Amino acid sequence: MTAVAETTETPVPTVAPEPAPEAEGEAKPRDILIICYSGELEKTWAAMILATTGAAMGAKVRVFLTFWGLQTFVKDEVRITGDNTMQKMMSFMQRPGISHRKLSKMNFLGMGPWMMRKLAKQYNVASPKELLEIAQAMGVEFMPCQMTMDMFGLTKENMIDGLGEPVGAATVISLLQGGDAPLFI
């Protein structure tokens, strides 16, 4: 009556299938999803270093740009963004663009970032802007957040070239569910 006796013929998959064994040194790297949320200089730097390195290590890297992290990807030369007064004031208070990031600590009216940039030059550390250009050349995908675009009144023309189509949180969650390694920066 029951199928118990037939296990030799048709094995019942009671246990989850074993994950594919790692081929020595050739395991396909997981895709990486960087959620670029913060707009500070040091965090932007970290995100760009990890994005370029991930691409260099053969991983597919996507960067979701949201909240303050999206402001970083406005063109450097764009000064004021938004339609209404409040949006314009927001961009006035914190200038958008990757070359205008502030430090979260010790900003001292721009003295901190200036010193960081000077040290970086001295020690041959690539700037966030240089790393961004390299990341784009290496095929890192940048996905702006539609909701943040709307909230800050940002247009496609405000943003740097080469960004993907704006997406929402569902795209992020779907990628995470698919197994992307997440980094929230």
Partner 1 sequence: MSSEQIAQVVDAKGLSCPMPIVKTAQAVKGLASGQLLEVLATDPGSTKDFAAWAKSTGNELVEQTVEGGVYRFVLRKK
Per CB under 8 A, 139 contacts partner 1: no
* Shortest Å, Cβ 53 to partner 1: 4
**Using rule CB under 8 A, residue 123 touches partner 1:** yes
* Residue 183 lies near partner 1 (rule: CB under 8 A): no
Q: How far is the CB of 6 from partner 1 (least distance, A)?
A: 43
29 three-class SS: coil
Q: Closest by alpha carbon to 32, among 135, 170, 147? A: 135
- Residue closest to 175 by CA, chosen among 57, 53, 59: 59
Interaction between residue 161 and partner 1 (CB under 8 A): no
| Binding mask of the shown chain, residues 40 to 79, with x at each position contacting partner 1 by CB under 8 A | ---------x--xx-xxxxx--------------------
Instruction: Decide if 144 contacts 164 (C-beta within 8 A).
Output: yes
Instruction: Quickly list H helices, 18-127.
Output: 41-56, 68-71, 85-93, 111-122
For residue 128, the minimal CB distance to partner 1 (Å) is: 12
Q: Does 138 bind partner 1 (CB under 8 A)?
A: yes
Residue 126 in contact with partner 1, rule: CB under 8 A? yes
- Pick the closer one to partner 1 by CB: 46 or 147: 46
**Interface of this chain with partner 1, residues 93 to 112, rule: CB under 8 A:** none
- What's the CA gap between 172 and 41, in Å, rounded? 24
> Would you say 56 or 169 has its CB closer to partner 1?
56
- Give the DSSP letter string of 87-154: HHHHHHHS--SGGG---SSS-GGGHHHHHHHHHHHHTTPPPHHHHHHHHHHTT-EEEEBHHHHHHHT-
Q: Which is nearer to partner 1, 47 or 70 (CB)?
A: 47
Nearer to partner 1, 121 or 156 (CB): 121
Contact between 141 and 62 (Cβ < 8 Å)? yes
Bridge partners (DSSP) listed for residue 182: 33
Distance CA 46, CA 40 (A): 10
State which residue, 103 or 140, has the beta carbon closest to partner 1. Answer: 140
The residue ranges that bind partner 1 (CB under 8 A) are 25-26, 29, 49, 52-53, 55-59, 123-126, 131, 134, 138
